[in-house]
Amino acid sequence: MSHLFGPVPSRRLGRSLGLDITPYKTCTFDCVYCQLGRTTNKTVQRREYIAKDSILCELRDFLPEAEADIDYITFAGSGEPTLHSGIGEMINAIKTMTDIPVVVITNGSLLFREDVRDDLSNADVVLPSLDAATTSAFRAVNQPHESLSADLIIEGLRMFREVFRGEFWLEIMFVRGVNDGTDEITALSDAISLIDPDRVQLNTVVRPPCEDVMPVDEDEMVRIREEFGGNFDVEIIAEKRIEVCADILPLLERRPLTMDQIAGSLGIHRNAAAKYLRELIEQGAVVETVHGDKRYFGVKI
């Protein structure tokens, strides 16, 4: 199975080649807005979930032909990448292969650990999220592993920021009625002052999430940005809601495509594409065919 995906166009990173280094939904959280579905392995245990040599080998084979089309190599994917105990060694190995900057997208939940902070220290960009700063909102939005608390995570982010020399952008995902209240914004504002990221990026649910949760509307996002009071470099990065299922069908009307081609065209992760395709197959709108050693998806005629 491939542990690379893309390069896919990314809202924040241009053309990003993804490295998926954990098994599907192995995560410290079970966020209500997660586009990949429910967490099947909620854990804080770090280990080599997937052999790092096989991931690096795949990357080494892939890079020579694709290097010119890649802006960033990004650890992200089906779960929380800092759960992989070999992430630090992988970052260092990539640095010997290419000059393409290395990014880690993380939920930030393990940065209170010194080994995790050390592991990420050679990345060029770290994009952690922090969706809540109070215990109640943290539990409601992230449904974390029982050993984690908002205070512990904020302290981990602060400690990492203090020593990390690369770019550090904090993302906050807002869910209507869950973490968008005035008290929560005040608590988040205090936490951000403490952490001191280079940028704060405000986002909201844009793709069909696994739970029945609603996005914060545009006016509300602007209000939230104003509530932060201009103290930080804050931008709204929420895109218009993508009706992914509706976007897939016109693509497939032109010709059948593989899962990776669909994910690449829509700029979404392969696992998210798989989820939407399953829905469309169940609805009878899409059929799967095998040609050679590849699986193709096309519209049902």
Instruction: Catalog residues that contact ligand SF4 under the rule CB under 6 A.
Output: 27, 29-31, 34, 36, 39, 79-80, 107
Is 188 or 252 the residue whose CB approaches ligand SF4 more closely?
A: 188
Q: Considering the complex, what minimum distance in angstroms separates the CB of residue 266 from ligand SF4?
A: 18
Is 30 or 180 the residue whose CB approaches ligand SF4 more closely?
A: 30
Is 16 or 39 the residue whose CB approaches ligand SF4 more closely?
A: 39
Is 16 or 107 the residue whose CB approaches ligand SF4 more closely?
A: 107
Alpha carbon distance, N-terminus to C-terminus of the chain: 30
Is 26 or 297 the residue whose CB approaches ligand SF4 more closely?
A: 26
Q: Considering the complex, what minimum distance in angstroms separates the CB of residue 110 from ligand SF4?
A: 11
3-state per-residue secondary structure call for the chain: CCCEEEEEEECCCEEEEEECCCCCCEECCCCCCCCCCCCCEECCCCECCCCHHHHHHHHHHHHHHHHHHCCEEEECCCCCHHHECCHHHHHHHHHHHCCCCEEEEECCCCCCCHHHHHHHCCCCEEEEECCCCCHHHHHHHHCCCCCCCHHHHHHHHHHHHHHCCCEEEEEEEECCCCCCCHHHHHHHHHHHHHHCCCEEEEEECCCCCCCCCCCCCHHHHHHHHHHCCCCCCEEECCCCCCCHHHHHHHHHHHCCECHHHHHHHHCCCHHHHHHHHHHHHHCCCEEEEEECCEEEEEECC
Q: Would you call 267 exposed, middle or buried from its count of C-beta atoms within 10 A (0-12, 13-18, 19+)?
A: middle
Q: Considering the complex, what minimum distance in angstroms separates the CB of residue 34 from ligand SF4?
A: 3
Q: Considering the complex, what minimum distance in angstroms separates the CB of residue 267 from ligand SF4?
A: 16
Q: Which two tokens stand for residue 17?
A: 């080649």
Q: Considering the complex, what minimum distance in angstroms separates the CB of residue 42 from ligand SF4?
A: 9
Q: Considering the complex, what minimum distance in angstroms separates the CB of residue 69 from ligand SF4?
A: 26
Q: Considering the complex, what minimum distance in angstroms separates the CB of residue 186 from ligand SF4?
A: 24
Is 80 or 184 the residue whose CB approaches ligand SF4 more closely?
A: 80
Is 36 or 277 the residue whose CB approaches ligand SF4 more closely?
A: 36
